């Protein structure tokens, strides 16, 4: 597990992180961007690029935001899995 995008991205999806990611591991879903945990090389390029401070190392995710670790990881099963995980995280 490496870097994670949390709730601040929802509705923002600025995509600055996508531009700086050297391995193109950031994927766009309908409501937010997510980081593929197996493709992320842990380089930290995206973290300072985010205008809304949505990105942090998984270990540094605020307790209230920890559900977003699973939301990001769901990209391993595809975009629909992310949408479902996000619904669950938001209690919808």
Partner 1 sequence: MKGDDAAWFTGRDRWFDDEAQAPAPGEPERDLGTVHEPARETPVHEETDVLVVGGGPAGCAAALAARRAGARVTLVERYNHLGGLSTGGLVIWIDRMTDWSGEQVIAGFAREILDRLPDGAVMGAPRDLWGSQEPGPVAHWRERLGGFRDTVTWSPLIDPEWLKLVSAELLVAEGVRLVLHSWVVAPIADGDGDGRRLGGAIFESKQGRRAIRARAVVDATGDLDVVAGAGVPYESDVEGGGSNVQHCINTAWTWAGVDMNRWLAFKAGDPAGYREFMRAAGEELGFVEAPYVAWRDDVCVFMGPRLPGYSALRVDDMTTVELESRRRMAVHLDVFRRSAPGFERAWLLLSAPQLGVRHTRRLVGRRRMTVADWREGVVHEDEIGVSPSPSAKFANVSVPYGAIVPAHLDNVLVGGRHVATDPQTQSFMREIPQCWLTGQAAGAAAAMVSATGAPAAEVDVRALQDELRRQGAYVRAGARAPA
DSSP label at 31?
S
The region of 6-14, 27-35, 58-66, 78-86 touching partner 1 under the rule CB under 8 A is: 58-66
Regarding 76 and contact with partner 1 (CB under 8 A), the answer is no
The set of residues, in sequence order, having a beta carbon less than 8 Å from that of 16 and lying 6+ positions away, is 49, 50, 51
What is the per-residue burial (b if ≥16 Cβ within 10 Å, else e) of 23-58?
A: eebbbebebbbbbbbeebeeeeebbebbebebbbeb
> By rule CB under 8 A, what string of x and - marks binding of each residue 16-35 to partner 1?
------xxx-----------
Size of site (CB under 8 A) for partner 1: 18
Regarding 72 and contact with partner 1 (CB under 8 A), the answer is no
Angle at 70 between CA 5 and CA 25, to 5 degrees: 50
Least distance from partner 1 to the Cβ atom of residue 64, Å = 12
> Which parts of this chain interact with partner 1 (CB under 8 A)?
22-24, 38-39, 41-45, 47-48, 56-57, 59-60, 63, 66
């Amino acid at each position: 597990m490496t870097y994670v995008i949390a709730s601040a991205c929802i509705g923002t999806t600025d995509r600055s992180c996508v531009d700086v990611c050297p391995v193109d591991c950031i994927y766009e879903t309908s409501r937010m961007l997510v980081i593929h945990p197996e493709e992320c090389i842990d380089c930290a390029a995206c973290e300072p690029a985010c205008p809304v401070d949505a990105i942090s190392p998984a270990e540094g995710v605020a307790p209230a935001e920890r559900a977003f670790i699973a939301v990001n990881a769901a990209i391993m099963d595809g975009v629909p899995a992310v949408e479902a995980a996000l619904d669950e995280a938001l209690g919808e």
